Each structure stands twice: as structure tokens, then as C-alpha cells.
Amino acid sequence: VEPDAAQRLAIAERIERLHRDFGQEPVVREQLATALYNATVVEPDAAQRLAIAERIERLGSDVGNLPAVQDWLNEIRRRAVDAEESF
């Protein structure tokens, strides 16, 4: 497990390039959504977490709303709100 938020996002971006360049297979899209979600887990910046959530949301709208993706988006948004309220 990669502990660095920037590295996690870089890995997700590599998956995204492969997805774009070599066909948009559903299984790769799902792995991309997972990688993006994992990047939010250790991302300290609430605004960055929301930006990543928007990317996941776009993926979901392209392929249909998967329940797991919706759960992730709700969790990301909740953590972002919690972080803002703690200031």
C-alpha cells in the first residue's frame, strides 16, 4: 500500500492513460475508480479530495452508476465536510 497521496494519484493517472490509450474496458475503468478512491484516503487537502471525487463521478456517469462508486463518493464528500468543520 502506497502511503504517499501524490504517489497514489500518480498511479491512478497512469491507469487513466492506459484506459484512454488502449480501449476503455469496464474492468480498467473500475480499477481506475478504485485507484482514484485510494488516492483520496490519504489526501490531506479537502479541496483536492473533492476534485478527485469529481473525476470518479465523471467515470461513474460514463459507465452508469455503480453502487460501490456512489458509496465512495458519499464517503469522500463526508470526509471533506468533516475536515472543513474541524477548522
Helices 5-21 and 26-41: angle between axes, nearest 10 degrees: 170
**pLDDT one-digit tens code per residue, 57-82:** 887 666 556 677 778 788 887 877 77
Q: Where does residue 35 rank: exposed (0-12), middle (13-18), buried (19+ CB within 10 A)?
A: buried
* CA atoms lying within 13 Å on the CB side of residue 35: 20
CA distance linking residue 22 with residue 39, whole number of Å:
23
Please give the distance of CA 83 from its chain centroid, rounded to a whole number.
18
Residue with the bigger pLDDT between 13 and 83: it is 13
CB atoms under 10 Å from CB of 36, counted, come to 25
**pLDDT one-digit tens code per residue, 14-49:** 999 988 888 777 778 888 888 998 898 888 888 898
